[in-house]
Chains A and B, each alone.
Chain A
Amino acid sequence: MNRRNLQQLVVESYSDGELNVQKVNKIVDLLTKKELKLYIKALKNWERQNTVIVDVPHEHTHVVQKLHALFPDKKIAVSVDPSLLLGMRMRHNDDIYEMSLKNTLHKITEHIEENYD
């Protein structure tokens, strides 16, 4: 199984942007152990590339809508992390965007620690 076939299997595993369990089960039955490992890895990679994970301090309306407007083809996963205090933390692929009060306060602490003379 080459890379293109593997990619095609992954794409076929989704229906309307969601993982289709029935399709996945059918595919799994047809694969060897080695191919199954590659398929799972490819699925995880696909999920990572197509999912935007957002942490917010508390739930509020329009978060998912606003994020969909920014990332129209991506899945949006929102989780609540009260320790952020204010703002948000977003992970997309290997990028992390953090604009939270907690992060700002920690940056101030680090700055004080590093620049103390």
Chain B
Amino acid sequence: MVSSYMLSVLTLICINIVAVTGLSLLTGFTGLFSFGHSGFMSIGAYTAAILFVKFNMPYWAVLPLGGLAACLVSGIMYPTLRLKGDYFAIAALGFGESVRLIMDNGGNLTGGARGFGGMPTLTKWPEALLVAVIALVLMRNIIRSRFGRTLIAIREDKIAAQSMGINVARNQYLALAISAFYCGVAGAMFAFFMTYLQPSMFDVAKSTELSSSVVFGGIGSLSGSVIAAVILTSIPEVFRPLMQWRMVFYGLALVLTIVVKPTGLMGTNELSFGFLRRFARKIISVGKKSSQDTTNPKGGK
């Protein structure tokens, strides 16, 4: 028997999978780091909540509408794409904070700092999983398409891609818009999971968590993002007793990952049984090599 607590953690994992997958298109496959994607979640969440509570639109309609709203707003970031990556990351931070401020000042529309409630718990276990799976399948198709390959080309060498005739800014913007859509949908799901929204739920810390999950899981790996989302959600629960130190280890893990294996946990690989087999074989062979060394001290390299 699975307790309602475990179900709600699983639901939260699905929400995070949608968000992290969307962001991985921008950060992982296109190489643009963002500090402000919680702003898109916020837009999606509030749009969905307001449409549901004040305009009585159905749940399954407000989810994509929330995503669409976030997608449309992402247009304001277009000018920053022409610039170097660092400009974009910080501008994104400014964006996230600005969204929060708008929600705080929303008066009766958004409830401001006092929050917006009245949503029933409609994001539940089997439905959330369905949305996550659809999101993943869609993303897989995007990545495998010509558009996906274009993004990877841009990530690897912007100038080479440009000289091949690729319109860098336009493709980067599409990646941003799609990532915004995904985060918007995730935000909408979140609204009906928490049943109550406050602008402070979507802060810089949340953006940073999302972005670092993508990197941690593997830049350019979809299953890496899924695993990272799983870890991101479940670790706080598993390590509840170590609350304060959890974030310390998280930061340390991030640094170590980048220094030791910059491509992240999964690198650019996708999880499959073939991969697991190769991984297991590598571990076994490393084990064999070290035992050989100890028996033969003069063993040369």
A and B associate in one complex: no
- Residues of B bordering A, CB below 8 Å: none
